[in-house]
Amino acid sequence: MVPIFFIAEALGIPPGNILWNPDIRHAVISSVDGSTIVRIPIGGTPLINGRPVEIDVPAQIVNNRTMVPLRFAVEALGGNAEWDGTNRRAIITS
């Protein structure tokens, strides 16, 4: 689980495209060109461009941060995530 805000910024999403709605407890992230919109409800099923996406563990709040599975965060925002089992590390590319 990783904080979605930091992953989004690392993948080039400007802070203004990362929104948090405390009333309904979900994050909304839009790509720079607006072609992808990711909605992440706490404890629920995320949506990418309106389509539900299954993830292993639902988003949760830990220390006031929205945490999501790393692979979901990276791939939902247009990056690629691979696992190097030999060296026990994640390789992230965008």
Q: What is the mean pLDDT of each run of 10 residues along the chain (94 residues)?
A: 92 93 95 92 97 95 94 90 94 87
Q: Give the C-alpha distances (Å, rounded to integers) separating 68 from 18, 33, 73, 86, 87.
A: 14, 23, 7, 24, 23
- Which residue has tokens 């089992």? 85
Task: Specify the pLDDT at position 32.
Answer: 86
What is the distance of C-alpha 21 from the center of its chain?
A: 15
Residue 55 per-residue DSSP state:
-
Query: Any residues with CB less than 8 A from the CB of 13 and at least 6 apart, and which?
Result: 29, 30, 31, 32, 77
Task: Specify the pLDDT at position 94.
Answer: 81
Tell me the pTM.
Answer: 0.87
Q: Give the C-alpha distances (Å, rounded to integers) separating 59 from 6, 24, 68, 94.
A: 15, 13, 5, 22
All structural domains of the chain: 2-93 (3.30.457.10)
Task: Specify the pLDDT at position 24.
Answer: 95
Query: Any residues with CB less than 8 A from the CB of 6 and at least 6 apart, and which?
Result: none
